[in-house]
Every structure is written in C-alpha cells, then in structure tokens.
Chain A
Amino acid sequence: MRTGRRDFLRGASLTAAAILASGAGWTQNSQAAPASPDYSIEIAETDWELAPGKKIRTAAYNGQIPGKLLRLVEGRPVSIEIVNHLDRAEIVHWHGQWIPPDVDGSMEEGSPMISPGGHTRIAFTPRPSGLHWYHTHAMGHRELKYGLFTGQSGMMYVEPRANPGAYDDEQFLVLHDWEPYYSASDDGSLMVQYVSGSINGRLLGHNDPIRVREGQRVLFHILNASATDPHWVAFAGHKFQVIALDGRPVATPATVETLRLGPAERISAVVTMNAPGVWVLGEPRARFRQAGMGTVIEYAGQSGKPQNPQPASLAWDYRAFADAVPAVRKPDLTIPLVFTSRFQGHGAVDRWMINGKSFPDGAPILLHEGLRHRLIFDNRSLDDHPIHLHRHAFELVSIRGAALSGVMKDVVVVETGTRVEADLVASNPGDTLFHCHQQDHMDSGFMALFRYA
C-alpha cells in the first residue's frame, strides 16, 4: 500500500461540516454528525484473492484487505459512516486514539454494537498523531471465523501538525495471518496456527514489488494485524532506523536489523536504500516465510530472483529506543496486574485472568484523573501477551527490573515469566478497556475495565 505524502485525507475540506449535526438515524455520535461523512466503511463478506487460485472468504472493509488507509489530521474532526452488511453485530475500534468511550469501539466501554444490516455514524477529533489502526472489536469465537481472524482491519495515519519529513517515500505494510486452525502448544493447551500469511493482503510474490531507488530514504509504517501471532520483520542487506512505536516518536531512533511486532503493535522505521538488488522484506522465520508473509523490494534497474537470506539472529528490546539515561518519576499510585491462566484441557484454550478474575467477573480498576499510575504487568502465565490499553498511552518504565523512559506505547509485549512496569497518567476520563490483544485470550477472559474514580 503506497501513498505519497501529497495524498492527503480525502475529507479534509469537509471538516467544517463535520461538526454539524444531522442526528436522526445515527446510533453513535460522540460529536455531532455532519450531513455527509468524511469516510464510509462498509463491512461485508468478500472473496479475497491472497494469490492467484487461492481465495478466502472473509469479512472485510469496503471489499479490500487491508481496509483503506485513512489519513486524518491531528485535531481536525472527522466523521465516519459505518454500514454493517453482515448477519451479525459488529463494532469498529479506533486503536490508539484518545477519543471518548462512546465512539472508541468497545462495547465494554459503552460503544454500541452495529446491528446486522444496521449503520452508524461517528465523529471524533483525532489525537494523538502517528500510526494507528482501526479494526473489529468483536469476539473471534472458537470457530476462528470472526473478530480479527477476518480481514476487518486497516491503517489510520494521523498527520501531525508539524512533520519533519526526513524521508523520500512512505510505505504502509499490514501483516496478517490467514486460515487459522488449532494446534497443540508447548504449554499443553491449544494454540492457533495459520496456513498462510500476507503483507497488504497478498502472499509473497503476488503483490506488486515496492520499487525504490538507491539512496532513497523510505519510511515504512508496519502494523501487525494478526489475531494472535507476533511477527518478526527483516529486510536482508538493510537496517531499520526505528523512529516511532505505536505511533509515538521514540526517545532514541536506534538502528536495528530485525523488528518484532506483537499483535496490534506498530513500528515506523526509516530504511536507507543502499544495497541495490531485489530483496524480500518480511517474516524471516521459515514457517511464516513459506506461509507467504513477505513482499518484494526492487531497486530501479535491478532484476532477478528476490534474495531472502535469514538474519543471523532475531533480537528486539524496547530499551534500545529509550532515553540514554532513564528519567525517574515517582508514581502517585501503583496498580498490580497479575496475569494467570486456568487450564481447561489439552483440547481447549486456557481461561485467562487478571488479578485472579476473568472478565467480566472482576471489579473495575479505578483511575484517578491527573495522577500518575504505575501499572505493574506481572505475567505469571506460560504465554507472552501483547497488552493493550484503550484510549490512552503509557510510558514503559521498567522491563525485567531494568529502568527505562522515553518509550510511549499502547501495546506492550509482556513475555512469559516477566514483569513490565508502565506509567499511565490518567488524562482521558471514561471507561477504558485493558486487555491482551491476542484474540483467543481476550475472548477467554483476558480483559479488565479501568474506570475513572
């Protein structure tokens, strides 16, 4: 999915109208709905061709996978109409946006579901800027046919008011896994695996190559939209200078050879094209590479079979992008969040718990507006978890006991048996969902509601 910086959001000129209400007929309306929306999202089943002769049937936005890139402007209101052509209720979550709970797209927070055949129009003011995304927040269910197992996801790029623009081209890449099935896992419970994986909806070799020129600086915006799997990304012969994580600029734009993205994580990284040839950018691990998760990068004037050597190692550490000297800030409150699971059988997925309770059994966790809350993610389970907080961002302050600062996230992968601490300054009142972004985990109770006191 290539867009030039000249491609601006289509409805920018409509923003004045965006605050005018039509009201009648719309089920959801944090801000007044305009006469005509800036964007329209139609949810429907589609036959999607991952590769010639390989079609899947899945739900998608506007019949395309991924959904169209929404380019918004920070602080400029936008209205979006959503039409649900499916025979089941749906909901669209605006991941990474600090917006009111009635439009955030989580029924647990109070956003209404869109009934089968129904429609809604929402309006909100995008913030913060950076790379975010929109996706279904419906359950995946045991059949693995719904929720994020479908193609209901798309990128959303919120233009900052000021953009340094130190790059020549932009590329948006969405990773997704397809054709899920259950398999035995090392921890003794079922896990989800996939037959195929795509970048921007196509298997490796079946999407148009990304064409570059030597010396170009290309900014890659990468999203892992997988329902359950973390992914690595490598680009043989090249390195990534990571400038933002989850849409937030990092303190240290470090250069790395491989990227790791937990489900729902986003990375913005600049690559200097200094190794002419034809290469594969994508999952370096054999299983995923064979499944198709890659795309070809082709230098001008170069041809031949794409080269795709495996990196020597896979390494990722959030601390690489942190302040050189960690800032020390004292929290006002501490909130321990212990992640455990209850075994349900080797032929089932575990039941997941936060502080011993599966959602919705636990009481809401209280936040106090304006205060700094230290969230302690204590993963005592046998799985890694991509932990997501709606409507807010948090700053990582400790990983495995090592202090850091300057890395803001809304999803963090908490590895098995480890503790990650993050500071949350409560600044966006309203119910806020906190959950593991692995679809089968959140479906099995790995959620909690944060509520402002």
Chain B
Amino acid sequence: MRFFPFVLILLGAAALAHAQGNYEIQVYGADTVAPRSTMVELHSNFTADGQRRTIGGIAPTFHAEHETLEITQGINDWSELGFYVFTSEQSGQGVQWVGDHIRPRVRVPEKWRWPVGVSLSTEVGYQRALFSPDTWTWEIRPIVDKQTGRWYFAVNPALERTWHGPDIDKGIDFAPAVKISYDFTRKVTGGLEYYADYGSITSIASLHNQQQQFFPAIDINVSPDWEINFGVGVGPTAATDHWIVKGIIGRRFNWGGRNKNP
C-alpha cells in the first residue's frame, strides 16, 4: 500500500493542500509470499521537493525521510498477511511514529493456470493525525500482472475509503498504480511506475488537484531472496510532491519449506 494522505486533496481546491505521506511507493505484483516464508522490506522515501508548510495541522513533507518497515508472512500458496510500521523523520522533529497497517492478500493460485496473475489485497490501518487528518483508512487493491518475455506489466486500480476523519463522508477514492518494465539483463530490470489519486470516484478531482507521480525505476534481481528497487519520482501536478527518491530493500527468509524439498 501507499497511503498518500489523499484526503487532503478533498479538503477543497481552495486549500490546495498537497501534504503527502509517501510511505510505501510500490506497484504490487500478483505473487504472494510463499508459505513458511517471511519477507522483510524497508521502504525508504525522501521528499526532495515537497510541501514546505504545515497546512491544516499536517506536517510538511519537504525533506522528510519516511522509513516503512513491511513484514509479510506467507500463509499458503495463495495468501499472505502483511504488516506495516510507518515512520517519518524531519529536521527538528526527529523520528516520529506515523502509524501501522495490516494487509491480508489472496491470489489466484498459479496452478489455476490463468493467463495473467491476479490477486486482491485489502489494507486497514491507523495513522496519526499529525501526518494525516484521516486517522483510520481502508483500501482494496485488485492486482493484475503479466510477464511476457522481457516485458512486465502490472496494474493496481486501488480504491480507498476513510473510516475516521474529516473525509469519512467523501466516499471512495480511486488511486491507481501502474508499472511497465523491461528486463535488460537477468539482474537488471528498468521501467516506469505511475501512481495517482484521482479523488472520489463520484467526483473526480481536477487535474490540478489530482496526485500524479511518475517514477523511472530499476529493479535489481540479485537473488530470489532479495528484492531491490530504486526510483526517482516526478510529481507534475500542484497536489503532488515534486521530487521523491525512493528505495526498497527486501529480504526473504525461508523457514524450512523451500529448501527441504529439493
């Protein structure tokens, strides 16, 4: 998940609020973590150029360093459970705990032999009002992906809902994410990731107030047990942080399941 505090957009165009919380910037693939395995990931996102002022009590993002710990446990060959700890660090504020989310996910098992990968993720969590006025949020994220030859495509048409906070009556937001990438070598994959929040599905925000981000990114595939992703994001709209540098490093731990049966 990535929880842009999208709700701020909906506070109204007059506010032009673009306080963001880029904690996990990732387009999901359909794979789930294997049973008897745990994936530990650290998402490090630095906002090089973002919101500089406190707006509506929300902390600025300019030069904020967000560190998110994600732990995902594989349950069986078609489900997993993820857990997040979000933190933010900024000059003068030190390291702040932002909130926690939990994210169960199910997928269409590979053995069903569908032509594309399909999974469905849902995420519920809390974040402190200092970082997002909506403190309880929920997201449902369908995931479809396809790897063919050197090309990879993934689309996450996520829907988000506020459970507690000023936007509780705003309905459901549409926040899609898309990735397209190309395998240059066995170990290096490069591509483009796109993240957006169009606002409410019943009242799409103006382009000015939409969040739009483009991340040229690379994935380094050194081992099946490691996940490494790096990207630099550009936000061209007023409601988007303009420059973000992101990195993901993940390590998979197998608890006797995979290697036991060669």
Which of A186, A286, A314, A345 makes the CB contact (< 8 A) with B150? A345
Sort chain A's interface into a size bin: 20 to 34
A184 at the interface (CB under 8 A from B): yes
Report chain B residues within 8 Å CB of A88.
none
**For chain A residues 178-197, which have a beta carbon within 8 Å of chain B?**
179, 181, 183-184, 186-189, 193, 195
A343, B185: Cβ atoms closer than 8 Å:
yes
Which of A183, A193, A345 makes the CB contact (< 8 A) with B183? A345
A347, B110: Cβ atoms closer than 8 Å:
no
Q: Known contacts A184-B31, A287-B261; decide if A347 and B111 are in contact (CB<8 Å).
A: no
Report chain A residues within 8 Å CB of B113.
179, 181, 195
Report chain B residues within 8 Å CB of A343.
183, 185-186
* A binding-site residues for B, Cβ under 8 Å: 179, 181, 183-184, 186-189, 193, 195, 285-287, 314, 343-348
B150, A346: Cβ atoms closer than 8 Å:
yes
Which of B150, B185, B224, B262 makes the CB contact (< 8 A) with A347? B150
B149, A347: Cβ atoms closer than 8 Å:
yes
Q: Known contacts A347-B151, A347-B152; decide if A181 and B110 are in contact (CB<8 Å).
A: yes
The number of inter-chain residue pairs (CB within 8 angstroms) is 52
**A378 vs B189: C-alpha distance when bound (angstroms):** 29
B183, A346: Cβ atoms closer than 8 Å:
yes
**A343 vs B185: C-alpha distance when bound (angstroms):** 7
B237 at the interface (CB under 8 A from A): no
Report chain A residues within 8 Å CB of B150.
344-348
Q: How many residues of B contact A (CB 8 A)?
A: 20
Report chain A residues within 8 Å CB of B224.
186, 188
Q: How far is the CB of B209 from chain A (nearest CB, A)?
A: 37
Residue pairs across A and B with Cβ atoms less than 8 A apart, 23 shown, are A179-B111, A181-B110, A184-B31, A184-B147, A187-B186, A188-B186, A188-B187, A188-B221, A193-B110, A193-B111, A285-B262, A286-B261, A287-B261, A343-B183, A343-B185, A343-B186, A345-B149, A346-B147, A346-B183, A346-B221, A347-B146, A347-B149, A347-B151
Report chain B residues within 8 Å CB of A346.
147, 150, 152, 183, 189, 221
**Chain B 167-193 near chain A by CB (<8 Å), digits 1 or 0:** 000000000000000010111010000
Report chain A residues within 8 Å CB of B185.
343
B149, A314: Cβ atoms closer than 8 Å:
no
Known: A286-B261, A347-B152. 4 other contacts (CB 8 A): A181-B113, A346-B147, A346-B189, A347-B183
Q: Which residue of B lies closest to A185 (CB)?
A: B224
A347, B261: Cβ atoms closer than 8 Å:
no
Report chain B residues within 8 Å CB of A187.
186
Q: How far is the CB of B131 from chain A (nearest CB, A)?
A: 36
Report chain B residues within 8 Å CB of A347.
146-152, 183
Q: How far is the CB of A208 from chain B (nearest CB, A)?
A: 27
Q: Which residue of A lies closest to B262 (CB)?
A: A314
**A285 vs B146: C-alpha distance when bound (angstroms):** 29
Q: How far is the CB of B251 from chain A (nearest CB, A)?
A: 15
Q: Known contacts A188-B186, A348-B149; decide if A285 and B110 are in contact (CB<8 Å).
A: no
Which of B149, B221, B261, B262 makes the CB contact (< 8 A) with A344? B149
**A391 vs B251: C-alpha distance when bound (angstroms):** 48
Report chain A residues within 8 Å CB of B151.
345, 347
Report chain A residues within 8 Å CB of B183.
343, 345-347
Report chain A residues within 8 Å CB of B146.
347
Report chain B residues within 8 Å CB of A286.
261
Kindly list the 10 A-B residue pairs having the minimum CB-CB distance in the complex, ordered from nearest. A345-B150, A347-B147, A285-B261, A345-B149, A343-B186, A181-B113, A186-B224, A347-B148, A195-B111, A345-B183
Q: Which residue of A lies closest to B182 (CB)?
A: A345
Q: Which residue of A lies closest to B225 (CB)?
A: A186
Q: How far is the CB of A179 from chain B (nearest CB, A)?
A: 7
**A188 vs B184: C-alpha distance when bound (angstroms):** 12
Q: How far is the CB of B42 from chain A (nearest CB, A)?
A: 23
Q: How far is the CB of A324 from chain B (nearest CB, A)?
A: 28
